[in-house]
Structure 1
Amino acid sequence: MKISVIGCGYLGAVHASAMAELGHDVIGIDVDANKIALLAEGRPPFFEPGLPEVLTSARDSGRLRFSTNIADAAGAQVHFVAVGTPQKPGSYSADLTYVDAAIEGLLPYLNDGDLVVGKSTVPVGTAARLSDLIVASGRGATLAWNPEFLREGFAVQDTISPDRLVYGVAPGAPGEHAVALLNEIYATALAADTPLVITDFATAELVKVAANAFLATKISFINAMAEIAEVTGADVTQLADAIGYDARIGRRFLGAGVGFGGGCLPKDIRAFTARAEELGRGESVAFLKEMDAINLRRRQRVVDLTVASLSRPVHQAKVAVLGLSFKPHSDDVRDSPALDVAVQLRGLGAEVVAIDPQAIENARARHPQLTYSDSLEETLRGADAIVHVTEWPEYRELDPVWAATLVRNRLVIDGRNSYDSAVWRAAGWEYKGMGKP
């Protein structure tokens, strides 16, 4: 099918490339000329494993091209809207400026029978409003909402082989038409028996934010237990293991540590809270505010633990921070706990040297006051403390015996509870974990 993807940021670039790789004829459109130039050359403007290969393959096949002119979307049967919905400055609400602009820009180029598919994460009620706008235009087009469930670091895999598909469609013939077109687009995934949920607009919008709210709650819950463990001498990792054996609970996302970040979970749960309050049901998700607060407290806990454990005043100490991205296999530093910890320690006067395999340039653009290094040896040399905050394999597998030959003081703050405390202590280190005795 002929497809346009409006918005070529993280979501849009991955979606456009994956759809072309699946055999569709795709044009990706974005107002950022530099981004479009990079994508046209087969160079993603961000780090995502597997994307360069898929992008290059799709481009070389002739099925994928890019443009800054939304008029080039004309003639496509299906138009995916994949623009960002950032948090409004000074508010928890989602900023729908880019979504509204994308729809307004598309309207003159829609033809009878075209399908506009929302993929952006939006407050519930947005799809119904946009559907009315599209119908009122008289262009004969239909709207569907098809939320994404991408995991950074696995986005290509999640697009080509999703764990479920959700279609939010209008009732009657327009919805049936939308389902038929989406089934054709996702024929490969459906042939592999991917679960499909066909529902209304509101449910499709809520699926995405509810999923993120649940994951955030699970992470924050175990971090709340870590706070209790820290004042009782309990071990939160063993606690998580024990309750995780219960099939109703499960072990995934029960890793206590410095908490979650990134461009989705924090903003999405805040926007969900704001929308619930607008609907007069703020009390229904009031607990999410406490989940957010717990998450932010864990960052402060890492900073406080580091300062309290140093053998010298913080302004005389060198701190090696391992990781800057909010998670491994990503260069995303938006709302990153790791970067936040590094900045706070620097603000307290520490000499902070931070390292990350992919995120240094993004971090430097936001916080040039930090010292960055691409050498693990130089990062560790002369350090009074190692603070491990992003679980990149090379940091998770750090050899404590080798590290001991470089540092000035053998203190490790394990912000991800990734290290075997017995191994580090046997190598002469003072080991401090999150919610661990």
Structure 2
Amino acid sequence: MVAHRLTVIGTGYLGTTHAAAMAELGFEVLGLDIDEDRIARLAAGDLPFYEPGLPELLRRNLAAGRLRFTTSYAELAEFGDVHFLCVGTPQRQGENAADVSFVDSAIRSLVPLLRREALIVGKSTVPVGTAARVAGLIGELTSENVELAWNPEFLREGFAVQDTLHPDRIVAGVPSAAAEKILREVYAAQIGEGVPFLTTDYPTAELVKVSANAFLATKISFINAMAEVCEATGADVTKLSQALSYDDRIGGKFLGPGLGFGGGCLPKDIRAFMARAGELGVDQALSFLREVDAINIRRRHRMVDLARDLLGGSFDGRGVAVLGAAFKPDSDDVRDSPALDVAAAIQQQGGVVTVYDPQANANAARAQPSLSFAASTAEAARGADVTLLLTEWREFRDLDPEALGTLVAVRNIVDGRNALDPERWRAAGWTYKALGRP
């Protein structure tokens, strides 16, 4: 089999994970970023973000010589046969649409330097239609035989290594049999394990990721909409969710009621999807996503309301312990974090807020520098009038209500993730409240 040499453009969460995982599979891999400090850290084996299992993968493959990093597009062009495009596509400032300028910049930087046949493989989440436009741009920039494929990523933060090495499917939007052949060779190990390999056109490949995220966001917001109904009727949304999960047409995944979703993917992807549908003249097809987004935001407001009610209607001067800042456990990502939004909103209403997260304190402090941060659960909870569980880290799920009760001023807790046993906490003298539960 051809021993392709791989490059990865962009060493954020996606790019670093992909580079290290492909090196683990035996490929020679060269990663590129224009951020010199980031490249220096990665080259030294220092991961700039938290992802379980990835530091070991990074250091092992650096030591083996299969993985290197650079800031030089010229070096990248000389080295690689297959170039994976893993740059960010953030939400445009003041708009819902995705910013694909980093995609265009990478293409313009790399393609004119290519001196032989190559395959560029887009992994970034982009608006449908981007791949066809980029393929045209490549044709304008070079006379070499350079093809473009689109191969969306399906990484879950906290499980990214597993999802790269052992994905549940591989989708490849390819323009030719030659491009498909190369990708089958690159992913031979996964295909050999029985992972489905689906070939599609460009638009279908682009739509797979955003469609999946839109569906998952809808499922999360559905159960949280039911939580609103449960609060109005005295029903218990956790029992409702459990009953629904036994229906194999529905299933229990992403049916956990609580504070809702955040992070760098679901919120911005569904908004960009809506924006692109509007550009294509089919905005009515995705109008339901506006309510999905609105339900998600309402959960944050409701969390603030529950905490305020426990304090008699005012946060002024009251101590508030916030457990969790990352948008989900096993991550230090605070982008669009519901937990951080709630903490900031309570502080703006006069609460004396102290936040603790096992991994995300530093990122949270950069995002919300006016908040106070603690080095432990005990430090955050000491003297608190109300405690909020907002990210379901295991150490929070396993808290001893009696031990925590000796630290707080008042035994009030709001469980934003429905992660605790209400009876156990009430038996320990806590006033327990949760979203969607009586």
The bucket for the TM-score relative to the shorter chain is: over 0.9
> In the alignment, which residue of structure 1 is the partner of 2:91?
87
1:237-386 equivalences in 2 (<5 Å): 237-311=238-312, 313-386=314-387
Gaps of 5+ in 1: none
1:6-25 equivalences in 2 (<5 Å): 6-25=9-28
**What is the rounded CA distance, in whole Å, between the counterparts of 1:288 and 1:58 in structure 2?**
42
1:88-107 equivalences in 2 (<5 Å): 88-107=92-111
Tell me which of 51, 66, 72 is aligned to 2:75: 72
Tell me which of 141, 151, 157 is aligned to 2:146: 141
Q: Give the CA deviation at 1:312.
A: 7.5
The answer to whether the aligner puts 1:156 opposite 2:161 as a matched pair is: yes
Q: Give the CA deviation at 1:304.
A: 0.8
Q: What residue identity is the alignment partner of 1:163? A: D
Q: Give the CA deviation at 1:313.
A: 3.5
The answer to whether the aligner puts 1:234 opposite 2:238 as a matched pair is: no
1:213-224 equivalences in 2 (<5 Å): 213-224=214-225
> In the alignment, which residue of structure 1 is the partner of 2:54?
51
Q: What residue identity is the alignment partner of 1:93? A: A
1:204-215 equivalences in 2 (<5 Å): 204-215=205-216
State TM-score, norm by structure 2: 0.98
My pick for the range that moved more, 102-111 or 247-256, is: 102-111
Q: What residue identity is the alignment partner of 2:66? A: R
The answer to whether the aligner puts 1:191 opposite 2:192 as a matched pair is: yes
Deviations 1:97-155 (A, max 9, x none): 10000111111222443100000000000001111122333221100000000000110
**What is the rounded CA distance, in whole Å, between the counterparts of 1:177 and 1:131 in structure 2?**
15
Q: What residue identity is the alignment partner of 2:350? A: G
**What is the rounded CA distance, in whole Å, between the counterparts of 2:112 and 2:7 in structure 1?**
14
Q: Percent identity?
A: 57
**What is the rounded CA distance, in whole Å, between the counterparts of 2:11 and 2:64 in structure 1?**
19
The answer to whether the aligner puts 1:178 opposite 2:183 as a matched pair is: no
1:290 is paired with a residue whose SS is helix
Q: Give the CA deviation at 1:311.
A: 4.7
**What is the rounded CA distance, in whole Å, between the counterparts of 1:77 and 1:348 in structure 2?**
56
1:23 is paired with a residue whose SS is coil
Contact 1:111 1:140 in 2 (8 A): no
Q: What residue identity is the alignment partner of 2:300? A: R
**What is the rounded CA distance, in whole Å, between the counterparts of 2:115 and 2:397 in structure 1?**
53
Contact 1:111 1:141 in 2 (8 A): no
Q: What residue identity is the alignment partner of 1:7? A: G
Q: What residue identity is the alignment partner of 2:154? A: F
> How has the CA–CA distance of structure 1 residues 221 and 312 changed in structure 2, closer, same or farther, with 3 Å as cutoff?
closer
State TM-score, norm by structure 1: 0.98
> In the alignment, which residue of structure 1 is the partner of 2:394?
393
Tell me how large the CA RMSD over aligned residues is.
Answer: 0.9
**What is the rounded CA distance, in whole Å, between the counterparts of 1:113 and 1:32 in structure 2?**
28
Q: What residue identity is the alignment partner of 1:35? A: R
Deviations 1:368-401 (A, max 9, x none): 1111001211111111011000011001111111
**What is the rounded CA distance, in whole Å, between the counterparts of 1:111 and 1:426 in structure 2?**
72
Deviations 1:227-279 (A, max 9, x none): 01001001111111111111000011111111000000000000000000000
Q: What residue identity is the alignment partner of 1:84? A: G
> How has the CA–CA distance of structure 1 residues 130 and 312 changed in structure 2, closer, same or farther, with 3 Å as cutoff?
closer
**What is the rounded CA distance, in whole Å, between the counterparts of 2:158 and 2:202 in structure 1?**
28
Contact 1:325 1:336 in 2 (8 A): yes
> In the alignment, which residue of structure 2 is the partner of 1:121?
125
Deviations 1:42-84 (A, max 9, x none): 0111111111100001101111100111111123110000000
Contact 1:71 1:109 in 2 (8 A): yes
Contact 1:169 1:199 in 2 (8 A): yes
**What is the rounded CA distance, in whole Å, between the counterparts of 2:313 and 2:408 in structure 1?**
14
Tell me which of 170, 173, 185 is aligned to 1:168: 173
Tell me which of 20, 41, 45 is aligned to 1:42: 45
> How has the CA–CA distance of structure 1 residues 312 and 211 changed in structure 2, closer, same or farther, with 3 Å as cutoff?
closer
Gaps of 5+ in 2: none
My pick for the range that moved more, 126-135 or 194-203, is: 126-135
> In the alignment, which residue of structure 2 is the partner of 1:408?
409
The number of equivalent residue pairs is 433
